Amino acid sequence: MMQLLYLDPGSGSYLIEVIIAAALGALFYFKSAWNRIKSFFSKPKPETEEEKNESTD
């Protein structure tokens, strides 16, 4: 009797959890890297009058 593909429920759910966490971690990493690249090539926004007044107070 061959049981080559048996995966017990505890280990299986842990494995799925690790895969989902790795995928979400990679997604967060690439999203933050993309935002850094985007902000490097974009112009800074000019300050509004309200922001200038708040910074002087």
How much is the pTM?
0.58
Q: What pLDDT is recorded for position 40?
A: 92
Which amino acid type is present at position 57? D
Q: What is the 3-state secondary structure (H, E, C) of 1-57?
A: CCCCCCCCHHHHHHHHHHHHHHHHHHHHHHHHHHHHHHHHHCCCCCCCHHHHHHHHC
Contacts of 9-18 with C-beta under 8 Å, sequence gap 24+, read none
pLDDT at res. 57: 61
Q: Residue 47 has what DSSP assignment? A: P
Query: Is 45's pLDDT higher than 80?
Result: no
